[in-house]
Amino acid sequence: MLKELEEQQIKIFRYCQWLETHVYLAFYLDFINEDTLNNLIINIEEIEKMIFGFKKSLDNQI
């Protein structure tokens, strides 16, 4: 089960990286403004922090 959780974490982290790339692309193509860009990036970074916090929590339980 731990292995499955780690695999899910990796998938979510990769999705966050993909999402961040596309958010920047949307900004450069003028689909979103700078405020929206900053808000989206902050939200993505918060998700990444939660993933790492969850991983540390799992590591401490082992």
Domain total of the chain:
1
Task: Quick: pLDDT tens for 2-61.
Answer: 788 788 888 888 999 999 999 999 999 999 999 999 999 999 999 888 887 876 776 676
The residue type of 32 is: I
- Give the integer Cα–Cα distance in Å for 9 and 59: 13
- For residue 11, the enclosing domain spans 2-61
The pLDDT, as a whole number, for residue 24 is 93
Q: pTM of the entire structure?
A: 0.72
The pLDDT, as a whole number, for residue 37 is 93
The closest alpha carbon to 40, from 54, 57, 27, belongs to: 27
